[in-house]
Amino acid sequence: MKPGCNGTTMHPAILVTGGAGYVGSHTVISLLENQSEADPFDIVVVDNLSNAYRAEGQKKPEALVRIEELTGKTIYFYHADIRDAKALSNIFENHKIDSVIHFAALKAVGESVQKPLEYYQANITGTCTLFETMRKYGVYKLVYSSSCTVYGEPQSLPMNEAHPTGDLTSPYGKSKYFCEEIMKDLCLSDQSWAIISLRYFNPVGAHHSGRIGEDPMGIPNNLMPYISQVAVGRLPELQVFGNDYKTVDGTGVRDYVHVADLADGHARALKLFRQPGFNGFHAINLGTGTGYSVLQMVKAFEEASGRSVPYRVVGRRAGDVAANYADVALAARLLAWRATRDLPDMCRDTWRWQRDNPKGYQA
């Protein structure tokens, strides 16, 4: 074990890139909550704070400050960009990194169409720099934050991992797809690599404490944070993007999955690395397998919150598909994972977070 900076012994560490963001912060708290004394590890977060709030005078982003409060544990935090090879090397020098969970990326689909270079820089150059650094320090275990977006237009439903990938329109989606291709090539080039790419469907919900949640900067792009900001009175009404799809009520259908379930999926992926001989590239869907329409989401949220969510139907949003939901058999088989939280849980937890933090972390 390397000696810690305060003289204590340092445990093997999990490096979490983008750990101050939405799925990252929920994964960090879940790992810490489930940590056993028999199996200690450190959590090291690197984040450039491009989409995470840090209060003035604080060293750590607010999400991590609150996680430390809730768990009573310390998180090692580095304010750095993953494209900064020197900063990354410094982290690997300071800690005994055993595995990496890689969330750090830009993720707004519409913005990516306007700013392709920024997206490819952040998502692909950043990922390559991280891999180079991992290789330099002999760290080969990686969990990657991917998305069902890599499948593009569904050719069949539910979508399993054998569904073709890559026929995509947005630079964001392409960047996730390209990174998966890079990871496949890495695994072919060197059998040391063990990479699990978790393809999330639609992450929603918040930590049950109501202290950690999704805090989009500006007006939300995604449905659930939009609905919750309407319910709390921050936005006047929801715009429903089209009601002429061939779905249960004409509105878009998606597979919403609780972020705490996603977090648990990452913990299980890390456990898989312990299986002797486990290596190579593995893409795994994380979803519930059930789709809900926009209007079903509105109704469920109204029931959970006791607030009304006024809406107006407008035209379809470019790039949207009618319906999308996961085949989750592989996650069950490989990770022994399945989503345990249902739609009322997702709405209740989102609402608790939104009600208690109407302005997000900045309150």
3-state DSSP assignment of residue 100: strand
Asked whether 283 and 197 are in contact (CB, 8 A), the reply is yes
Could you tell me which stretch among 51-59, 216-224, 326-334, 339-347 binds ligand UD1 (CB under 6 A)?
216-224
Buried b (16+ CB within 10 A) or exposed e, 310-336: ebeeeeeeeeeebbbbbbbebbeebbe
Q: Is 287 a binder of ligand UD1 (CB under 6 A)? A: no
What CA–CA distance (Å, rounded) separates 310 from 331?
37
Of the candidates 172, 177, 226, 325, the residue annotated as catalytic is 172
Q: Is 294 a binder of ligand UD1 (CB under 6 A)? A: yes
**Which of left, alpha, beta for 271 (phi over 0: left; psi -120 to 50: alpha)?**
alpha
Q: Find the binder of ligand UD1 among 90, 222, 243, 290 (CB under 6 A).
A: 222
Q: Find the binder of ligand UD1 among 153, 190, 320, 342 (CB under 6 A).
A: 320
Q: Find the binder of ligand UD1 among 41, 53, 137, 241 (CB under 6 A).
A: 241
200 is catalytic: no
- φ and ψ of 258, to 5 deg: -65, 135
Asked whether 285 and 328 are in contact (CB, 8 A), the reply is yes
Strands, E assignment, 152-300: 194-200, 202-204, 238-241, 253-254, 256-258, 280-286, 292-293
Residue 127 CA, chain-centre distance (Å), reads 15
Q: Is 118 a binder of ligand UD1 (CB under 6 A)? A: no
Asked whether 359 and 282 are in contact (CB, 8 A), the reply is no
Q: Find the binder of ligand UD1 among 18, 213, 252, 287 (CB under 6 A).
A: 252
Q: Find the binder of ligand UD1 among 35, 89, 90, 221 (CB under 6 A).
A: 221
User: Is 132 or 249 the residue whose CB approaches ligand UD1 more closely?
Assistant: 249
Name the minimum Å distance from CB 201 to ligand UD1.
Answer: 8
Name the minimum Å distance from CB 197 to ligand UD1.
Answer: 13
Name the minimum Å distance from CB 142 to ligand UD1.
Answer: 19
Q: Find the binder of ligand UD1 among 223, 262, 263, 328 (CB under 6 A).
A: 223
Asked whether 322 and 246 are in contact (CB, 8 A), the reply is yes
3-state DSSP assignment of residue 291: coil
Could you tell me which stretch among 71-79, 116-124, 236-244, 338-346 binds ligand UD1 (CB under 6 A)?
236-244
Catalytic residues, by residue number, are: 172
**Binding residues vs ligand UD1 (CB under 6 A):** 107, 109, 147, 149, 173, 202, 221-223, 226, 238-241, 252, 254, 294, 317, 319-320
